[in-house]
Amino acid sequence: MRVALKGTIPQEFSKLTGAKPEAFELQLRALENLHREGVSCHTVLIDIAKADRGGLVEKLSKISLELAALEVEPLIAYPAIRARLEKAKII
């Protein structure tokens, strides 16, 4: 399973997704659950992250070293996404 992480910290996640910052942790809990159940998965970071990736990599490595090996993917800014990111002054 491929899990795409939106941002490296709660505030960035919120700006990228429009969700509450607290929801950032749901991504990490989902990865913990997948790993615990033996589901093969890897993480992808959407490449607009401006925050330091070190903290995210550290959190992921506590779950599994394999998850900490982030694949980086460019953001595809569809119109609704572009509008939200422009409003948040990310792009």
User: What was the pLDDT predicted at 50?
Assistant: 61
What does pLDDT average to over the chain? 88
Mapped to the 3 state alphabet, what secondary structure does 38-90 carry? CCCCEEEEECCCCCCCHHHHHHHHHHCCCCCCCEEECCCCCHHHHHHHHHCCC
User: What was the pLDDT predicted at 26?
Assistant: 95
- Strand-pair partners of 46: 73
Query: Which contiguous run of DSSP H or E holds residue 24?
Result: helix 24-36
Return the domain boundaries, the chain: 2-87
User: In Å, how far are 10, 19, 45, 56, 62 from 81, measured between CA atoms?
Assistant: 18, 13, 16, 23, 31
User: What was the pLDDT predicted at 30?
Assistant: 94
Q: Looking at the predicted structure, is the pLDDT value of residue 52 above 90?
A: no
